[in-house]
Chain A
Amino acid sequence: MKVDILFFASLRETLGREKETAELPETVRTVGELRQWLAQRGGAWATALAPERAVRAARNHAMVPAGEPLQTGDEVAFFPPVTGG
């Protein structure tokens, strides 16, 4: 399946990327699996998306837990804990 992936704030800066469209292998079915798959790229990806790092995710504009299933055409965003207000 194909999904749009967005990165915000410190994650966007660390990864040097704000958006990409990716064709996912069949083994990637959830938001958490997508994070692991991206971390496998190594380098800054492995560090910034490591399991112990506080990274939040949204699927189609709603915050979701790692187990959230993905569908083709989804917009998935990864970002650090929010700091507005």
Chain B
Amino acid sequence: MSVSVQISDFDAGAEIAALRRDPSVGAIVTFVGTVRDINEGDSVSSLTLEHYPGMTEKALADIVGQARARWSLNAVRVIHRVGTLRALDQIVFVGVAGRHRGECFAACEFIMDYLKTQAPFWKKEATGRGERWVEARDSDDEAVRRWERG
């Protein structure tokens, strides 16, 4: 299964090892997103991720499909956690394996850029001033437009 949405943590090393099993692979690019302890100037004690079960997996699989159509890749792995997380916790893993690094770097960034704007996850953070929903950033939409312009 190339896409997982889960409460439990993941082992990035084990995921990389799994991507390395194919001897035609010459490059593996990974991204790990983690929980920051500060956002918008306030300290964040925890982050709760909500998602849309049923749509989330489909949206992620669709993004992976778009990346695979755009670049020649050997394997792609996406893991996104949901539930309550704390500073330093891992949120998301994207691993891309291919023959050469260029397409792997590009595909990994493409997948993250689309995930940030297309996959139905929402973050609510607990700060010293109470709980609040994290606002979407215009820069994330701009990152996607960059790919659409080619």
Contacts and interface: CB of A to CB of B under 8 A. Distances in A.
Interface residues of A, number: 17
B136 A54 contact: yes
Contacts of A84: 49, 51, 80, 91-92, 115-116, 119-123
Contacts, number: 74
A84 B121 CA distance: 5
A61 B50 contact: no
B114 to A, nearest CB: 10
A85 B33 CA distance: 6
B112 A85 contact: yes
Given A9-B124, A9-B133, A84-B51, A61 B58 contact: yes
Contacts of A3: none
Interface in A2-61: 6, 8-10, 54, 58, 61
B55 interface: yes
A50 to B, nearest CB: 17
Contact of B55 (A10, A54, A77): A77
Interface residues of B, number: 27
A82 B92 contact: no
B134 A83 contact: yes
Contacts of B135: 81, 83
Contacts of B49: 84
B118 interface: yes
Contact of A77 (B52, B119, B123): B52
Nearest to A75: B54
B55 A58 contact: yes
Contact of B58 (A6, A8, A62, A80): A62
A79 B122 contact: yes
B124 A80 contact: no
Interface of B: 33, 49-52, 54-55, 58-59, 80, 91-92, 112, 115-124, 133-136
Given A58-B55, A83-B134, 13 more contacts: A10-B122, A10-B133, A61-B55, A79-B122, A80-B122, A82-B116, A83-B133, A84-B51, A84-B92, A84-B116, A84-B119, A84-B121, A84-B122
